[in-house]
Homo-oligomer: A and B are copies of this chain.
């Protein structure tokens, strides 16, 4: 479908050049489509961003590996796969910053809805599951951010390797402790 072709190109562009690089014509070029195509499918820039964000959500949702038997392991695998999909995750961060001024984007982007995190915290025996769930969410978000754009981007293990998954797992195990 042409629309997906366009939003996929948009995601790559944002990852490579930042939101500033996201222009109708640049997307046309990136996708190898004739000039004007993007503008026809997404008349306004805001519509283009919304399309990009919807696509991000679809792609990322498809890559969540939860395992009730081994929560830390499942989360580690999930997070590592997001690190591997570097461009997509970078685009997501750019979109989250954008959502600071366009709140309607936020609902689509925010990970691990509060409820699910709190349930997990309760299952693990945390005292104040609501609060602990929020802290766990924050920690997971931080792990990715740190490894992808923060200090860990230069020093951490290479995403996609067993070492990377194990490092994440160790960190997550600590974070999940009640």
Contacts and interface: CB of A to CB of B under 8 A. Distances in A.
B151 A114 contact: yes
Contacts of A114: 151, 155
Interface residues of A, number: 47
Interface in A164-178: 167, 170-171, 174-175, 177
Contacts of A156: 134
Contacts of A174: 135, 175, 177
B139 A152 contact: no
A120 interface: no
Copies of this protein chain in the complex: 2
Contact of A97 (B90, B139, B147): B90
Contact of A142 (B99, B141, B177): B141
Given A138-B171, A155-B114, A93 B97 contact: yes
A150 interface: yes
Contact of A110 (B20, B101, B134, B150): B150
A143 interface: yes
Contacts of A150: 96, 110-111, 137-138, 141
A155 B134 contact: yes
A59 interface: no
Interface stretch (A11-19, A25-33, A36-44, A69-77): A11-19
Interface string A84-101: 000000100110111111
12 contacts: A18-B101, A19-B19, A94-B97, A112-B151, A131-B167, A134-B146, A135-B170, A137-B151, A138-B146, A138-B150, A138-B171, A141-B150
